[in-house]
Amino acid sequence: MSARTLYDKLWDAHLVENLDGGSALIYIDRHLLHEVTSPQAFEGLRLAGRRPWRIDANLATPDHNVPTDKAERDGGVEGIVDPVSRLQVQTLDENCRDFSIVEFEINDRRQGIVHVIGPELGATLPGMTVVCGDSHTATHGALGAMAQGIGTSEVEHVLATQCLVQKKMKNMRVQVDGQLQPGVSAKDVVLAVIGKIGTAGGTGHAMEFAGEAIGSLSMEGRMTLCNMAIEAGARVGLVAVDEVTLDYVRGKPYAPVGELWERAAQDWRQLHSDPGAHFDTVVELRAEDIAPQVTWGTSPEMVLPVDSCVPDPAGIEDEGKRRATERALEYMGLEPGQAITDIRPDRVFIGSCTNSRIEDLRAAAEVVRGRQVAEGVKQVLVVPGSGAVKAQAEAEGLDRVFIEAGMEWREPGCSMCLAMNADKLGAGEHCASTSNRNFEGRQGFGGRTHLVSPAMAAAAAVTGHFVDVRTLGPHTAQGDAA
Amino acid sequence: MNPFTVHTGLVAPMDRANVDTDMIIPKQFLKSIKRSGFGPNLFDELRYLDEGQPGADCSRRPLNQDFPLNFPRYQGASVLLARENFGCGSSREHAPWALEDFGIRSIIAPSFADIFYNNCFKNGLLPIALDAADVERLFASMHAEEGYRLTVDLERQRVVEPDGRETYFDVDEYRRYRLLNGLDDIGITLEHADAIHRYEAQAREARPWLFDAVAAGEPQEQGV
């Protein structure tokens, strides 16, 4: 057989049947469900008198609009103050009961953001096809799985048939060679990639991240990368399986054990692109060139290294780009040419399916330790991605670091990434956020989002403005000069 | 799903690139457990001057008079003319639901985001990707002529301008067939049930660890 990419291999292994006109029926191994995009799908099943094709392939948890405030959360589903949110979470509970689908309910220790709990439970494994009614499903590609976001009609389709009808995507490789500088994270890499190719740069492609710098990343870092493939337009993000992957998966609650593990691991070791495999598009970056990134505008491609200045539309020739820049600066309340380090966040959000894993919290805590939230910063939310991440962070004392600095340590959920619950920005407020989208209004009506890494968000929280975390240096008893 | 064959309708502009699904339908409206009723909140943050709340009576809210979809000349529009990468961001199908509920039947743009493009076909909406130059011409014609209408012919895969000029567009044959006939996807796939069963038997043999894990019940231990 000719040389194949990782995506080619995953596609071939899940091909049920080729259909007329170039589409194919692709089998889905794991389907994750949450409260926002599933109610209409279950309703569709009921109306048609259909049952799920394979119940054990499904796993559900509420995450998007669960409260993260401890007092409200302690009341369980009944305690959710917003009646519309409450009904949506109750509807998920009812649907899972009616259709016998395993659900980790709101206060189960295994509850969390779907894209955090899938890998940490071993419910998503290398070589799987994974779907969820959420565009950030690409996250699971970090394990060498073909994972993608789908709409509600496809949620219903997967429930009823265990398949998706798809056309094969093109192959794209994002090659990052060299070594990242200390203080530069996976988030900075993926923001730099988006800055380079744009938010439509990966449209129609499965995007495999490869190269020395990617191989050196932890699984958490690889998840951050793949998570934001969709922000570069790619539905699927991928990283090849290596020993880092196997070490991560081994011992996870749903991972195979014993002889089955050996067989699985042998299979998984083939999950990489063959030498000479054809990629339709290749993008290359040098790891050493990547500095901590900050978005200044209303699209993830409006991103620059932290030591830059906000662009001046007057210098942009392309009319569409110039108008988009003008509009973004107006919405963001920024002046052309303003230094990014002069932007002062009103709030800071550390969390989301992009950056709420244990390594992210450790990176933030390392910057925060011994420091205080700066004057002028109204609120810093630290929201762990799951019950397990929360427990681990507390075991390491990270919660104390955040609380002692004046930050809020919350219950797991999507929180201020999309502000479906009470965690949101006020109009005109700037936010240093570890989430994935800086769209207008994303974090609250009129809110102004700046996407950054956890370490950069923490640095902004304790200095009161964006700052290159690499220059912050160790904390002294007298505090920071910055 | 309603079939889509040929549609002629008033054209309205959404003249900016990278229109994201948060813009098409903001998150607070995603709490609904229904498929319908999203139309009044389409482009909510651009269309109104205040912050929209689920269940609020939109007829009493202050309109943003600078937003083209609020202009008298575009009332009743059913064809949306847009720019690059329309529908990027979230996978929310509430975006095509809102467009459809508002009365849009077809969107013409130089390019679309993948998930949004796919979601449209599930809801009787036809997204049409044309060359940027063609889209530019349509924008100019629309601006020049009040009441500008286009015909979208899925059968012949043509956009027909008022002067008879026709532009061919590409569409996947499977999607075209389903949309033309208003067919239920699931019903078609279930005609392949035997093939799915055969695949499962073979996969269970080759990769047994992919089956039965979650159904086996509680994980042994809480892992971190």
Cβ contact B94:B41 at 8 Å: no
> What pTM did the predictor assign?
0.96
Q: How is residue A16 annotated by DSSP?
A: E
Do A165 and B210 lie within an 8 Å CB cutoff?
A: no
How would residue B214 be classed by pLDDT, with cut points 50, 70 and 90?
A: low
CA atoms within 13 A on the CB side of A374: 22
Q: Which helix (H) or strand (E) holds A192?
A: helix A186-197
Q: How far apart are CA A328 and CA A368, in angstroms?
A: 31
Cβ contact A66:A73 at 8 Å: yes
Please give the share of chain B, as a percent, with pLDDT higher than 70. Answer: 94
Task: Produce one character per residue of A406-424: b if its CB has 16 or more CB atoms within 10 Å, e if not.
Answer: bbbbbbbbbbbbbbbbbbb
Question: What pLDDT is recorded for position A476?
Answer: 54
- Which chain A residues touch B22 with a CB distance below 8 Å? 418, 437, 439-442
The yes-or-no verdict on residue B220 having pLDDT over 60 is no
Pick from A43, A120, A135 the residue to mutate for testing the B interface (most B CBs within 10 Å).
A135
Q: Please enumerate in sequence order all residues whose Cβ is within 8 A of that of A321, keeping only pairs 6 or more positions apart, or say none.
A: none
Please give the share of chain B, as a percent, with pLDDT higher than 90. Answer: 91
Q: How far apart are CA A369 and CA A380, in angstroms?
A: 14
Q: Which of A168-172, A461-465, B172-176, B219-223 has the lowest mean pLDDT?
A: B219-223
CA–CA distances in Å: residue A38 to residues A119, A158, B36, B115: 21, 11, 15, 16
Q: Would residue B45 be called left, alpha or beta, if left means φ above 0 and alpha means ψ between -120 and 50 degrees? A: alpha
Cβ contact B121:B128 at 8 Å: no
Mean of pLDDT values over B20-37: 96
Chain centre distance of CA B81:
13
Question: What pLDDT is recorded for position A21?
Answer: 83
Q: Which of A268-282, A462-476, B5-19, B143-157 has the lowest mean pLDDT?
A: A462-476
Question: What pLDDT is recorded for position B112?
Answer: 98
CA–CA distances in Å: residue B119 to residues A274, B21, B91, B126: 33, 12, 8, 10
Cβ contact A407:A454 at 8 Å: no
Do B54 and A84 lie within an 8 Å CB cutoff?
A: yes
Amino acid found at B63: L
Interface of B with A in 139-168 (CB under 8 A): none
ipTM of the complex: 0.94
Cβ contact A441:A427 at 8 Å: no
- Residue holding tokens 């993948």? B114
Q: Which helix (H) or strand (E) holds A463?
A: helix A454-463
- Pairing of β A303-305 and β A293-295: antiparallel
Q: State the average pLDDT for chain B.
A: 94
Burial label for A220, CB within 10 Å (0-12, 13-18, 19+), is: buried
Query: Quick one: tokens of A318?
Result: 């392309």
Q: How far apart are CA A331 and CA A91, in angstroms?
A: 36
Which strands form A281-286's sheet, in the order they lie side by side?
Answer: A236-239, A205-210, A170-177, A281-286
Q: pLDDT tens string for chain A (482 positions)? A: 699 999 999 999 999 999 988 899 999 999 999 999 999 999 999 999 999 999 999 999 999 999 999 999 999 999 999 999 999 999 999 999 999 999 999 999 999 999 999 999 999 999 999 999 999 999 999 999 999 999 999 999 999 999 999 999 999 999 999 999 999 999 999 999 999 999 999 999 999 999 999 999 999 999 999 999 999 999 999 999 999 999 999 999 999 999 999 999 999 999 999 999 999 999 999 999 999 999 999 999 999 999 999 999 999 999 889 999 999 999 999 999 999 999 999 999 999 999 999 999 999 999 999 999 999 999 999 999 999 999 999 999 999 999 999 999 999 999 999 999 999 999 999 999 999 999 999 999 999 999 999 999 999 999 999 999 999 976 654 544 44
Question: What pLDDT is recorded for position B222?
Answer: 37
- Residue holding tokens 């339908």? B25
Cβ contact B95:B123 at 8 Å: no
Interface of B with A in 114-133 (CB under 8 A): 114-115, 118-119, 122-123
The yes-or-no verdict on residue B216 having pLDDT over 50 is no
Q: Please enumerate in sequence order all residues whose Cβ is within 8 A of that of A289, keeping only pairs 6 or more positions apart, or say none.
A: none
Could you give phi then psi for residue A114, rounded to 5 degrees?
-50, -40
- Which chain A residues touch B122 with a CB distance below 8 Å? 151, 153-154
Cβ contact A432:A349 at 8 Å: yes
Coil, helix or strand at residue B222 = coil
Interface of A with B in 46-65 (CB under 8 A): 48, 50, 53-59, 64-65
The yes-or-no verdict on residue B64 having pLDDT over 70 is yes
Q: Interior CA angle at B80 toward B78 and B86, to 5°?
A: 140
Report yes or no: B33 at the A interface, CB cutoff 8 Å. yes
Mean of pLDDT values over B166-185: 93
Nearest residue in B to A92, CA atom:
B33
Question: What pLDDT is recorded for position A1?
Answer: 64
Residues in chain B: 224
Q: How far apart are CA B78 and CA A449, in angstroms?
A: 33
pLDDT in tens, A302-359: 999 999 999 999 999 998 899 999 999 999 999 999 999 999 999 999 999 999 999 9
Question: What pLDDT is recorded for position B58?
Answer: 96
Nearest residue in A to B36, CA atom:
A40
Burial label for B156, CB within 10 Å (0-12, 13-18, 19+), is: exposed
Question: What pLDDT is recorded for position B184?
Answer: 84
Report yes or no: B202 at the A interface, CB cutoff 8 Å. no
Cβ contact B134:B109 at 8 Å: no
The C-alpha of A443 sits at a distance from chain B's nearest C-alpha, in angstroms, of 9
